[in-house]
Amino acid sequence: MSASVSELPLFAGASEPPELGVYARVAYEIVDEEQYPKEEDAFERAGAPAFRVAPLLRLIGARGARKLIVGRIRIAVTTEASPQVTVVLSAVWSERDGWTQVRDVLAHADDALAASLADPAHPVRGDEQTVAAILAKAIAESSHNELTRIRAVRYELERRLADQLASRRSESMRPLLAEAIELSIAFNRARDQARAVIRDGLWLWLCDEEAYQRSRVAPAPGPDAPTSVRMHHNALRHCESMSTLLEEETSRLHSLLDSLSTVSVAQDAEAQQNFNLFAAATAAGLGLPALILSFYGAQSFLPLNTVDRAWRALIPIGVTTLVAVVIALYRMPRRARPTHYVVGALFVVALVGVLGVAGALAPR
């Protein structure tokens, strides 16, 4: 599936009119890949003497509505027309939906994605092979640069976990776990794209088998080497660094997942402990007055149709239950807040009220 073609300035920076970069025909294509990417058919369709492929990684949008885009970009250069650049979108994750992978990928091939191809600015000039190599290096460098912003997303997850542990915010662990897993999937998909590009040498072998073989065994080119050779080498270095950094980010996300799982289990155990403590306090508060009434009988107080009978029967129950609840709150694993004491007092008042109504309706 592909979108319409438009001619845009690429890697021209912010200058108006563009002094750097190049105007290229930009198209979008959606792929749903479950196997190793193959570019032979795309190369045949392009019919260009110079062909390259570079990984695409973008984090686009304002905080709260960001999109994480993973894919690759094909570059086909001929002498007869402007370069053909095909943005191949593999997957998109939306922050608005808790970093969920979206279904309608083509809807995210918008102006913001096209604008992200303006930096870093590069002078693009030379023959077909040189232009293709420069564009591939610029794309690989821009994707590598996105890792700084993507790393900030992990920092945000870690901050939310720290706030949760310090009781600075109340948030369920389940959404945090889901977001960490989704981001781990996204980072791994991006790493797969980078590794495929490294393995196939930017798919240089499709258009120049000899240059591809030389690039596999030759040492790092010096400043006097042809521009196409230096740009090809630099593009591969960016891809290798990108793959390594994404692997590190994935490892840190897995460590965060382990921490989240541990905290989630601890929270469940703490909630169960608090419930047991509160239930024990309530049972003690009700049990002691009930034991006393069982010794002396409750018939002399029932029905509770006068104030004198009501306070004699209910005050001991209320005071005992309130003391038990206060002790339970004081011994909670976490420090009880004033709100907890207010809720406990309201619970005791409600309990005494229910007993009062039941006592007033008791038969003589």
pLDDT tens digits, 212-240: 898 888 788 888 889 999 999 999 999 99
Tokens 């419930």: give the residue: 275
- Nearest-angstrom CA–CA distance, 45 and 241: 31
- Nearest-angstrom CA–CA distance, 200 and 181: 29
HEC sequence for the chain: CECCCEEEEECCCCCCCCCCEEEEEEEEEECCCCCCCCCHHHHHHHCCCEEEEEEEEEEECCCCCCEEEEEEEEEEECCCCCCEEEEEEEEEEEHHHCCEECCCCHHHCCHHHHHHHHCCCCECCCCHHHHHHHHHHHHHHHHHHHHHHHHHHHHHHHHHHHHHHCCCCCCCHHHHHHHHHHHHHHHHHHHHHHHHHHHCHHHHHHCCHHHHHHHHHCCCCCCCCCHHHHHHHHHHHHHHHHHHHHHHHHHHHHHHHHHHHHHHHHHHHHHHHHHHHHHHHHHHHHHHHHHHHHHHCCCCCCCCCCHHHHHHHHHHHHHHHHHHHHHHHHCCCCCCCHHHHHHHHHHHHHHHHHHHHHHHCCCC
What's residue 290's pLDDT?
A: 66
- Nearest-angstrom CA–CA distance, 311 and 356: 9
**Cβ atoms within 10 Å, residue 62:** 7
One-letter amino acid at 74 equals: R
- Nearest-angstrom CA–CA distance, 338 and 329: 10
- Name the residue among 69, 55, 215, 72 with its Cα closest to residue 140: 55
In the numeric block, which tokens belong to residue 229? 């050779």
One-letter amino acid at 211 equals: A
- Name the residue among 50, 76, 37 with its Cα closest to residue 208: 50
pLDDT over 90 at 30, yes or no: no
The model's pTM: 0.74
pLDDT tens digits, 227-280: 999 999 999 999 999 999 999 999 988 888 887 777 667 667 767 776 777 677
Q: What percent of the chain has pLDDT over 70?
A: 81
- Name the residue among 84, 68, 52 with its Cα closest to residue 234: 52
Q: What percent of the chain has pLDDT over 90?
A: 35
pLDDT tens digits, 125-154: 889 999 999 999 999 999 999 999 999 999
Confidence grade of residue 54 (pLDDT, cut at 50, 70, 90)? very high
What's residue 48's pLDDT?
A: 92
pLDDT over 60 at 1, yes or no: no
What's residue 206's pLDDT?
A: 92
- Nearest-angstrom CA–CA distance, 44 and 207: 10
What's residue 339's pLDDT?
A: 78
In the numeric block, which tokens belong to residue 226? 């042809």
- Nearest-angstrom CA–CA distance, 143 and 208: 25
pLDDT over 80 at 171, yes or no: no
**Please, are residues 84 and 25 in contact by the beta-carbon 8 Å criterion?**
yes
